[in-house]
DNA sequence: GGTGTCACGTA
DNA sequence: CGTACGTGACACCT
């Protein structure tokens, strides 16, 4: 179709395409970020551009933008392009964002004072054609048709959206308008252009105009022969000749602008991956980000990727008897980077690397590595050490001396953006992209990195991140990392390897009970409304509730009205007497409960290992506050509140060879931390008294003797106390306690009357965070809060609540991690056979070896209660039983 | 097949 | 309009 020898110049009218994209997509209602920023124009434009890059494979690329509505055309004719209405507020700002995205993609964009984007396109097209380019002009303005010739093609968006572009060459223009491209402006001048607010000659349409042009060629010539034209059209032409002349002047595009870039300057360049991630990430365009990055990868494979590859040191494959000497010869101040290779579940070797040398130790040579791996004084550096320690352990190898984990390091330095993969961290810390092979491809474009080269990337990342961590501003982070996170890694690895024993029979029995229950509720729900419906589909439920049953609308969600348990409870209350509606609602709620629990059981059953135990995975830096998270499966959300739920809990048992489970949890640790941090004398006193906290607080808030605090009073105070640490306001408090906002307000006032320092503290935390940009736990763990100074109210309020909660939740997490280290150390010291198995934020679960109960309880209680020295005691509650539920206290 | 939304379990 | 998480079903996208 096109001359493959010719370079292709693709130039796009940014403004008009962005505008069309906006209108095509705005009605979908998608394309809004959480912060309320519309992104239709950015998305639509980039979509179109990526498609063009793929289809047309241009070698050169540029985008032109209007600078403002003002141009030399408006100077001549003030009404030019008038009447277009105000720019929708949702559109404004998107052009700037689009330009940011283009900059990040290294796509040149051009503006020119007093001229329109089309003039820039005209100039570039003229230069490009002259310099031997095949030129593709993408414009939503028909005036661009005048640019078409053998070398220049116009792609014009069809009525619907921007993804469909119609290709106009000379023949296509002639077929449609019966004039050749260079004559198109003559035709447009006579007919007029409504979009530009340029009226043409009355009663002259394209057919008449084309006829005249065929005869005389140009507007000037036609006007010169105006006397020869008969009829109304002729009359109008004579009377309105100035219109035609003016239109012709205005619609002539300028082809000789002085521009900062010529066609050759627009050669395509690789994208700036970091910047692209930043810009598109902020716009919450995940899919688009992937598409753009993919584009970048194709580029990288051709250019920079090859460079990065060649810089990696040659990989030496070691035989068993060469390993020790090779390691001894390496200079690696931080430790040697290690990458354990597992393929298809099988241990497949180990990669080793310093900054300058890499080696691969295949399984056959592992005997030469065994001692070094187990040597605690031989420093090793990992990305994700815990997993690798476990993989090695499965293969009968013990790894000690993990002195760095770059992922955890990254998580401490930047707790809101923990790198998920080594590639992510390479990108973030080294600002280069690590080649990754796509395992789904039969013949990968990028060959898989061997473990040795992976280790080389780890070594370099470690070097970079360690340098950051070593700076004075990060002294606190360094301490948290060195003293808490690093030593915790082998402790967690041990817990994950041990897993927790499960009684399959208990799970299966409960699953069957729930299955029957779900079926009963399902049938009852269908009977109530007279037809079947997918009870698991919020969308279908909305139809039933609000259309069929005509129930009053509930809280709004992004896609409709909420059907969550709270909303359904409200609906239930709005129904006066028992009817189909209330029966449906009740059945639905019960069905939800049953299916939720049933599903949970099924997930647990699937994750039981061949050893009859469940091995969760903890993410040590999984939460921005410093808490851990648990996944595959999540054992930190096992039900406890309902009777049915607790039966699931009772399936967690002591394994064979152990006498029982022991649970130990911190009592009201967050409230205690709040008392400590705020220094509130009343609250500190409450904890030192050691009596029922909520009763004590209630007696002070309501001014009655502790013995006279009613359950209702205690409840209110309890909700208030807990809510405080989450930034609960009168609205939320009222909603939770089902009281009026005025009452909630009063309760808060009374509360702070007695415990005013708490309020002061919470206020100060936010204030401090605002000026510092971060919060800090008692142990110096920091969490950044960039949104605290955002002009966006919602964003700012959310950040304020998270900020006031962060030191509290985070300090509690620190204390628990420190306690775990102490417990693990003492258990090892005492050579106990008992094992620490699970952590659920403020609770630890142990498997008790025969005869060790007392000793274990002593270690656990002591280590937990002394993990930190606060102005209030850290009280620990211990329970023992055959299963997790029974071990509760 | 991948992704976002909703709902819901825990501390 | 209460913090911190992970998971699964559904609905919609490509």
* Minimum CA–C1' distance nucleotide for A642: B9
Distance CA A599, CA A608 (A): 15
A735 touches strand C (CB under 7 A): yes
The DSSP line for A469-512 is HTSGGGHHHHHIIIIIIHHHHHHHHHHHHH-EEE-HHHHHHHHH
| Protein-to-nucleotide distance from the CA of A639 to the C1' of C7, whole angstroms | 14
Taking the CA of residue A584 and the C1' sugar atom of nucleotide C5, their distance in angstroms comes to: 32
DSSP state of A152: E
The CA–C1' separation of A213 and C8, in angstroms, is 67
Taking the C1' atom of B1, which residue's CA lies nearest? A440
Name the closest residue (CA) to the C1' of nucleotide C10: A537
Cα–Cα–Cα angle for A586, A588, A592, rounded to 5 degrees: 120
Is the CB of residue A882 less than 8 Å from the CB of residue A663? no
Residues contacting residue A184 through CB under 8 Å, at least 6 positions apart:
A142, A143, A145, A146, A173, A177
pLDDT band at A304 (very low <50, low <70, confident <90, very high): very low
The token pair that represents A99 in the structure block:
């330009």
Q: Which of A17-31, A230-244, A346-360, A699-713 is least confident?
A: A17-31
Q: Which nucleotide has its C1' atom closest to residue A666's CA?
A: B11
All CATH 1.20.1060.10 domain ranges in chain A, comma separated: 502-613
Cα–Cα distances (Å) from A389 to A223, A401, A535, in that order, read 88, 11, 44
From the CA of A538, how many Å to the C1' of C11?
10
Could you say which DSSP state residue A84 is in?
S
Tally of residues, chain A: 889
Average pLDDT over residues A360-372: 96
Quickly list H helices, A530-668.
538-542, 565-574, 580-606, 643-649
Indicate the SS3 state at residue A127.
helix
Question: Which residues of chain A (802-831) touch nucleic strand C at CB < 7 A?
Answer: 802, 805-806, 809
Domain A671-808 -> CATH class: mainly alpha
Q: Answer with the residue of higher pLDDT: A447 or A886.
A: A886
Question: Closest CA to C8 C1' — which residue?
Answer: A599
Protein footprint of strand B, defined by Cβ closer than 7 Å to any strand atom? A 284, 286-287, 290, 440, 538, 557-560, 562-567, 592-593, 596-597, 600, 634, 636-642, 645, 840-843
A511 has a pLDDT exceeding 50:
yes
User: Residues A192, A197, A198, A199: is their CA dihedral positive or negative?
Assistant: positive
> How does pLDDT run across A37-85, given as a tens digit for each residue?
788 888 888 888 888 887 888 999 999 999 887 888 888 888 877 766 6
Handedness of CA A683, A688, A693, A695 (dihedral sign): negative
Where does the pLDDT of residue A443 fall: very low under 50, low under 70, confident under 90, or very high at 90 and above? Answer: very low
Please compute the mean of the pLDDT values over residues A804-832 and round it to a whole number.
96
Average pLDDT over residues A233-259: 87
CATH 1.10.150.20 domain range(s) in chain A: 671-808
For B7, which residue's CA is nearest its C1'?
A564
Q: Any bridge partners for residue A343, and if so which?
A: A346
Distance, in Å, from the CA atom of A256 to the CA atom of A746, rounded to the nearest integer, reads 74
Amino acid A684: pLDDT? 95
pLDDT tens column, A516-575:
999 999 999 999 999 988 898 888 898 899 888 989 888 888 788 888 888 888 888 888
- Distance CA(A700)–CA(A682), nearest Å, equals 9
The per-residue pLDDT for A815 is 97
The residue among A876 and A569 whose pLDDT is bigger is A876
Please state, as a whole number, how many other Cβ atoms lie within 10 Å of the Cβ of residue A611.
Answer: 11
Distance, in Å, from the CA atom of A502 to the CA atom of A517, rounded to the nearest integer, reads 23
What is the nearest nucleotide to A567, using C1' and CA? B7
Q: Is the CB of A774 under 7 A from strand C?
A: no
pLDDT tens, residue by residue, A108-150: 999 999 999 999 999 999 999 999 999 999 998 889 999 999 9
Strand partners, A396: none
Work out if A620's Cβ lies within 7 angstroms of strand C.
no
Q: Quick one: pLDDT at residue A212? A: 87
Q: Which residues of A465-495 are buried (b: 16+ CB within 10 A; e: fewer)?
A: bbebbeeeebeebbebbebbbbbbbbbbbbb
CA nearest to nucleotide C7 C1': residue = A634
Asked if strand C comes closer than 7 Å to A722 Cβ, the answer is yes
Whether residue A25 has pLDDT greater than 80: no
Q: Is the CB of A871 under 7 A from strand C?
A: no
Q: Is the CB of A537 under 7 A from strand C?
A: yes
Residue A192: Cβ-neighbour burial (10 angstroms; 0-12, 13-18, 19+) = buried
Strand C, CB < 7 A, residues 25-64 of A = 28
Smallest CA-to-CA distance from A713 within A726, A696, A734, A736 is with A696
Residue A714, pLDDT score? 92
Per the structure block, which two tokens stand in for A400? 């000690």
Q: Residue A753 CA to B5 C1' — how many Å?
A: 42
Q: Can you tell me the distance from the alpha carbon of A546 to that of A561, in angstroms, rounded to the nearest whole number?
A: 9
Nucleotide nearest to A625 (CA to C1'): C4
Q: How far is the CA of A743 from the C1' of B9 (A)?
A: 31
Distance B3 C1' – A140 CA (angstroms) = 32
Nearest to A506 by CA among A611, A632, A612: A612
Whether the CB of A798 is less than 7 Å away from nucleic strand C comes out as yes
pLDDT at A280 over 90: no
CATH class of domain segment(s) A315-499: alpha beta
Helix, strand, or coil here: A5?
coil
Residue A838 preceded by cis peptide, ω within 30: no
Give the pair of three-digit tokens for residue A162.
């921007």
Q: CATH 3.30.420.10 in chain A: give the residue spans.
A: 315-499
- How distant is C1' of B3 from CA of A878, in Å? 43
Query: What is the DSSP track for A386-412?
Result: HHHHHHHHHTT-----EEEEHHHHHHH
Q: What is the CATH number of domain A502-613?
A: 1.20.1060.10
Task: Please tell me the predicted confidence (pLDDT) of residue A159.
Answer: 60
Question: CB of A400 within 8 A of CB of A406?
Answer: no
Contact criterion met (CB below 8 Å) for A710 and A727 = no
Share of chain A above pLDDT 90, in %: 58
CB A137 within 8 A of CB A152: yes
For residue A319, give the DSSP letter.
P
Distance between CA A639 and CA A648 in Å, rounded?
Answer: 7
- Encode pLDDT of A209-229 as tens digits: 888 888 888 888 888 888 888
> Which nucleotide is nearest, taking the CA of residue A735 and each C1'?
C1
N- to C-terminal Cα separation, chain A: 79
Within 7 Å of a protein beta carbon, the nucleotides of strand C are 1-14
Confidence of residue A4 (pLDDT cuts 50, 70, 90): low
Note the CA–C1' distance, A816 to C5, in angstroms.
17
How far is A19 from A13, CA to CA, in rounded Å?
10
Place of tokens 């498997």: A847
The reply to whether A784 Cβ lies less than 7 angstroms from strand C is: no
What distance in Å separates the CA atoms of residue A212 and residue A222, rounded to the nearest whole number? 7
Return the bridge partners of A843, or none: A665
Round to whole Å and give the CA distance between A26 and A32.
9
- The CATH 3.40.50.1010 portion of chain A extends over 3-170+253-266
Please determine, for residue A347, whether its predicted confidence score (pLDDT) is greater than 50: yes
A726 CB closer than 7 A to any strand C atom: yes
d(CA A564, C1' B3) / Å = 22
Strand B bases within 7 angstroms of protein beta carbons: 2-11
Q: Candidates 3.30.1490.20, 3.40.50.1010, 3.40.50.300, 2.60.40.1220; correct CATH number of A3-170+253-266? A: 3.40.50.1010
CA-based nearest residue to A404, from A310, A495, A467, A324: A467
Chain A 267-296, CB < 7 Å to strand C: 287
Distance between CA A845 and CA A815 in Å, rounded?
16
> Closest nt to A622 (CA→C1')?
C5
- pLDDT recorded at residue A244: 84
Closest residue to B11 (CA, C1′): A841
Cβ-based contacts (< 7 Å) between A 110-129 and strand C = none
Enumerate long-range contacts of A604-608, CB under 8 Å, 24 or more apart: A604/A502, A604/A507, A604/A633, A604/A648, A604/A651, A605/A504, A605/A507, A605/A508, A605/A511, A607/A632, A607/A633, A608/A502, A608/A504
Lowest mean pLDDT among A26-35, A767-776, A827-836: A26-35
- Whether residue A172 has pLDDT greater than 90: no
Rounded to an integer, the average pLDDT of A293-306 is: 52
Higher-pLDDT residue of A87 and A142 is: A142
Tokens of residue A26, six digits: 């705005």
**Is strand C in 7 Å reach of the CB of A627?**
yes
Of A184, A183, A193, A179, nearest in space to A246 by CA = A193
Inter-residue contact A822 to A863 (CB < 8 Å): yes
A645 touches strand C (CB under 7 A): no
Strand C lies under 7 A from the Cβ of residue A715? no
* A162 band by pLDDT with thresholds 50, 70 and 90: low
pLDDT, residue A441, reads 47
For residues A123 and A255, give the distance between their C-alpha atoms in angstroms, rounded to a whole number.
4
Has residue A296 got a pLDDT over 80? no
Minimum-distance nucleotide, CA of A670 to C1': B11
Sheet with A358-362, strands from edge to edge, namely A315-317, A358-362, A346-353, A336-343, A380-382, A402-405
Q: Which nucleotide is nearest to A291 (CA to C1')?
A: C14
User: CA-to-C1' distance for A385 and C12, Å?
Assistant: 38
Classify residue A349 by its DSSP letter.
E
| Mean pLDDT score of chain A | 89
Q: A849-856 — which CB contacts under 8 Å span 24+ positions?
A: A849/A657, A849/A658, A849/A659, A850/A657, A850/A658, A850/A659, A851/A659, A853/A659, A853/A660, A853/A662, A853/A880, A855/A830, A856/A662, A856/A827, A856/A832
């Amino acid at each position: 179709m096109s001359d493959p020898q010719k370079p292709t110049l693709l130039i796009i009218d940014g403004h008009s395409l962005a505008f069309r994209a906006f209108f095509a997509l705005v009605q979908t209602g998608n394309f809004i970020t959480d912060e309320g920023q519309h992104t239709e124009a950015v998305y639509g434009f980039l979509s179109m551009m990526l498609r063009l890059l793929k289809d047309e494979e241009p070698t050169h690329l540029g985008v032109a933008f209007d600078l403002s509505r003002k141009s030399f055309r408006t100077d001549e004719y003030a009404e030019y392009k008038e009447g277009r209405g105000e720019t929708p507020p949702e559109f404004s700002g998107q052009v700037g964002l689009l330009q940011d995205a283009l900059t990040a993609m290294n796509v040149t964009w051009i503006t020119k004072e007093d001229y329109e984007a089309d003039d820039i396109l005209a100039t570039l097209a003229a230069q490009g054609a002259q310099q031997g380019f095949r030129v593709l002009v993408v414009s939503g303005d028909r005036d661009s048709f005048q640019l078409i010739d053998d070398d220049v093609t116009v792609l014009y968006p069809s009525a619907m959206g921007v993804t469909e572009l119609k290709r106009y060459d000379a023949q296509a223009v002639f077929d449609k308008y019966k004039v050749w491209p260079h004559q198109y402006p003559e035709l447009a001048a006579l007919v007029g252009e409504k979009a530009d607010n340029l009226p043409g000659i009355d009663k002259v349409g394209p057919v008449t105009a084309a006829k005249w042009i065929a005869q005389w060629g140009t507007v000037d010539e036609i006007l010169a022969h105006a006397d020869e034209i008969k009829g109304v059209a002729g009359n109008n032409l004579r009377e309105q000749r100035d219109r035609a002349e003016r239109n012709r002047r205005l619609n002539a595009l300028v082809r000789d602008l002085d521009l900062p870039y010529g066609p050759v300057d627009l050669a395509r360049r690789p994208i700036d991956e970091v910047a692209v991630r930043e810009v598109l990430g902020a716009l919450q365009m995940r899919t688009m980000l992937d598409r753009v990055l993919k584009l970048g990868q194709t580029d990288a494979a051709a250019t920079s990727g090859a460079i990065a590859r060649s810089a990696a040191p040659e990989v030496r494959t070691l035989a068993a008897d060469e390993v020790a000497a090779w390691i001894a010869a390496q200079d690696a101040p931080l430790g040697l980077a290690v990458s354990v290779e597992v393929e298809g579940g099988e241990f497949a070797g180990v990669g080793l690397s310093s900054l300058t040398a890499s080696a691969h130790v295949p399984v056959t040579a592992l005997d030469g590595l065994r001692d070094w791996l187990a040597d605690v004084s031989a420093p090793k550096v990992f990305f994700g050490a815990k997993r690798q320690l476990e993989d090695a352990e499965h293969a009968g190898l013990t790894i000690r001396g993990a002195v760095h984990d770059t992922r955890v390091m990254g998580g401490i330095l930047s707790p809101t953006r923990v790198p998920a993969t080594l590639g992510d961290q390479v990108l973030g810390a080294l600002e280069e992209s690590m080649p990754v092979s796509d395992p789904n491809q039969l013949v990968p474009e990028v060959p898989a990195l061997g473990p040795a080269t992976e280790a080389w990337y780890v070594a370099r990342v470690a070097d970079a991140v360690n340098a950051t961590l070593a700076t004075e501003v990060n002294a606190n982070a360094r301490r948290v990392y060195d003293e808490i996170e690093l030593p915790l890694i082998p402790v967690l690895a041990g817990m994950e390897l041990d897993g927790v024993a499960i009684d399959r029979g208990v799970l299966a029995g409960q699953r069957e009970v729930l299955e029957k229950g779900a079926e009963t509720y399902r049938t009852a729900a269908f009977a109530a409304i007279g037809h079947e419906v997918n009870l698991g589909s919020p969308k279908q439920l909305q139809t039933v509730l609000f259309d069929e049953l005509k129930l009053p609308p509930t809280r709004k969600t992004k896609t409709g009205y909420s059907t969550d348990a709270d909303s359904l409870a409200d609906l239930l209350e709005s129904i006066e007497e028992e009817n189909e509606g209330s029966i449906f609602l009740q059945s639905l709620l019960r069905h939800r409960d049953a299916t939720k629990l049933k599903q949970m059981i099924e997930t647990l059953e699937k994750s039981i290992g061949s050893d009859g135990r469940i091995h969760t995975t903890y993410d040590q830096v999984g939460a921005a506050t410093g808490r851990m998270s648990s996944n595959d499966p999540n054992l930190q959300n096992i039900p406890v509140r309902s009777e049915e739920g607790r039966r699931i809990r009772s399936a967690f048992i002591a394994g064979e060879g152990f006498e029982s489970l022991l649970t130990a949890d911190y009592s009201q640790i967050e409230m205690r931390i709040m008392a400590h941090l705020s220094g509130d004398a009343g609250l500190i006193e409450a904890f030192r008294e050691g009596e029922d906290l909520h009763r004590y607080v209630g007696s002070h808030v309501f001014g009655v003797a502790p013995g006279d605090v009613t359950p209702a009073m205690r409840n209110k105070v309890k909700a208030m106390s807990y809510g405080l640490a989450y930034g609960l306001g009168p609205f939320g408090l009222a909603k939770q306690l089902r009281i009026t906002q005025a009452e909630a307000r009063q309760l808060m006032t009374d509360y702070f009357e007695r415990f005013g320092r708490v309020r002061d503290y919470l206020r100060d935390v936010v204030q401090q965070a605002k000026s510092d940009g971060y919060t800090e736990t008692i142990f110096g763990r920091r969490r950044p809060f960039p949104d605290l100074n955002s002009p966006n109210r919602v964003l700012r309020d959310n950040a304020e609540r998270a900020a006031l909660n962060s030191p509290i939740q985070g300090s509690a997490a620190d204390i628990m991690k420190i306690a775990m280290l102490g417990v693990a150390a003492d258990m090892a010291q005492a050579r106990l056979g008992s094992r620490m198995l699970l952590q659920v934020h403020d609770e630890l679960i142990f498997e008790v070896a025969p005869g060790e109960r007392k000793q274990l309880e002593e270690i656990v209680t002591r280590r937990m209660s002394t993990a930190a020295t606060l102005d209030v005691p850290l009280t620990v509650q211990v329970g023992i039983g055959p299963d997790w539920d029974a071990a509760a206290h």
